Amino acid sequence: MTLKKHTHTQPLPAAFYTVQLATFFFALGLTVMIPILPLFITDELGAAEHWIGTATMTIALTAVIMRIPGGTLSDRYGRRKLMLIGGAFSLAATVIYVFATGIGVFLIARVLSGIGLALFTTTGKALSADLAPPERRGEAMGITNAAFSLAQVISPLLSEGLKNAVSFRAVFIVSTVLILVTLGITLTLRVEKPDRSDSRGARGDIAGMLRERGIWASIVLILAVAAVMATLFTFYPLMADRKNLYHDAPGLLSSVAMGMGLSIWALIDTVIEPIAGRISDRLGRLIIAAPGLVFLAAGVIAFSRASDTLSAYTAIALMTVGWGMVRAIADALAQDMVAPALRGMAAAILYTSFDLVVGLTAQSFSHLIDGADFSRMFAVLTPLVIVTGSVGLLLAVRLTTHDQRVAQLVQPAVPTIPPLVGD
């Protein structure tokens, strides 16, 4: 699929960058907790290891339930309002994390985090698409994802450093402050409510989108990246510890070697996604998605065999290049296929699928680990990535975007000149 070429590229407005700044601080507040959660659950709360997967599944399934209502409400009542509501739920969650002393209270906080994640990120993606010119939509989606990833460059080092120097709960306090900053930035946004003229009501909108082959292409592609993300962000700290991956890390890195792996992931993704989106705007989505899938599968295989610092970091880098390329295309495809009034719903459907796979992967893969042996987990993950990615690529062949369909409808008919008598 290729997009119509434009002779003039419009700039991204200031409000677009305000959304990205809010996204950055929200992501930092959310992801600063991720590296410490597995050990917080087992060491601080004294819970069994299977609760690690349950904690990830709880936030993911809550987000699954809330994304479509959030997308619908943002299409109807405005993006800013739903972003503020999402931020408020996230703020309540971080406060509960600070005082949690048992797994039950901790899981309540995970539910609130899931609601906040669903509302804020779904609406933020739709707003970014609203503000971007059509010829820069792929790039805009890449920048939006990069804003989230940029936070992940910082958060693992901040998280691990705070936990080691102060305590687990110091990390949660910092998360609370970061969410407060997010709410302050979001309050400064002044954006119009979406035009509802193309909407057929929530049920009609969903039914219409699920008849779009391009929506299904984006959904299936996002399944591949979701499975990889669930594996890395749920089990990577445990894998690094049990396999002693960083036994040969240099002295200066030894205390933050695991966190550095997540920072490498985030740094590469921050660079890759805007570039991937920009190239796809000019050359077509499949030009980026196909090699991205190759990188993603190669990285998963390499990570399954990692045994030291260099091999672990190299595998993470490979995975990230592919992950960023495929994810940028999945996001762009979802927004390509729908009218402006349905962008919140499109983002909601896409990331409902994402969250569902993250939750199910985290919960089911936790039963495939046997001590320091993660081979069964990767034996399932590798074909899952290859098959879902390949199906997504096939579905994305020869698509017609919403903008292209509209352009075809408004093109004036070329008048037919009758032949002259005697011709």
Name the stretches of the chain with pLDDT < 50: 2-7, 421-423
Q: Is residue 419 part of a domain?
A: no
Alpha carbon 358 to its chain centroid, in Å, reads 11
Q: Is residue 5 part of a domain?
A: no
Q: Is residue 421 part of a domain?
A: no
Task: Report how far residue 31's alpha carbon sits from residue 145's, in angstroms, rounded to the nearest whole number.
Answer: 14
The CATH number for 321's domain is: 1.20.1250.20
Across 107-142, b (16+ Cβ under 10 Å) vs e yields: bbbbbbbbbbbbbbbbbbbbbbbbbbbbbbbbbbbb
- In this prediction, residue 297 carries a pLDDT of 96
Task: Report how far residue 113's alpha carbon sits from residue 115's, in angstroms, rounded to the nearest whole number.
Answer: 5
Across 405-414, b (16+ Cβ under 10 Å) vs e yields: eeeeeeeeee
- In this prediction, residue 377 carries a pLDDT of 92
- In this prediction, residue 116 carries a pLDDT of 94
Beta bridge partners of 370: 373
Give me the domain span that covers residue 53: 14-191+201-407
Q: Is residue 343 part of a domain?
A: yes
Phi, psi of 189 (to 5 degrees): -70, 140
Under 8 Å between Cβ of 362 and 226: no
| Residues near 317 by beta carbon (within 8 Å), at least 6 away in sequence | 264, 268, 299
Crossing angle between the packed helical segments 213-242 and 286-304, to the nearest 10 degrees: 20
- In this prediction, residue 423 carries a pLDDT of 39
- In this prediction, residue 416 carries a pLDDT of 54
Under 8 Å between Cβ of 140 and 336: no
Amino acid making up residue 145: N
Q: Would the pTM count as exceeding 0.85?
A: no
Question: What are the CA-CA distances from residue 128 to residues 58, 362, 395 (Å)?
Answer: 27, 29, 25
The H or E element that residue 255 is part of is none
Under 8 Å between Cβ of 309 and 246: yes
Q: Is residue 416 part of a domain?
A: no
Q: Is residue 415 part of a domain?
A: no
Task: Report how far residue 365's alpha carbon sits from residue 357's, in angstroms, rounded to the nearest whole number.
Answer: 11
Task: Report how far residue 330's alpha carbon sits from residue 225's, in angstroms, rounded to the nearest whole number.
Answer: 10
Q: Is residue 413 part of a domain?
A: no
Q: How many Å is the maximal CA-CA distance in the chain? A: 96
Torsion of CA 43, 45, 50, 51, to 10 degrees: -140
Task: Report how far residue 189's alpha carbon sits from residue 274's, in angstroms, rounded to the nearest whole number.
Answer: 23
Handedness of CA 45, 51, 54, 55 (dihedral sign): positive
Question: What are the CA-CA distances from residue 242 to residues 13, 40, 246, 341, 369 (Å)?
Answer: 48, 16, 10, 49, 11
Place of tokens 């445990």: 238
Across 373-391, b (16+ Cβ under 10 Å) vs e yields: ebeebbeebbebbbebbbb
Place of tokens 């409808």: 409
Q: Is residue 21 part of a domain?
A: yes
Count of structural domains within the chain: 1
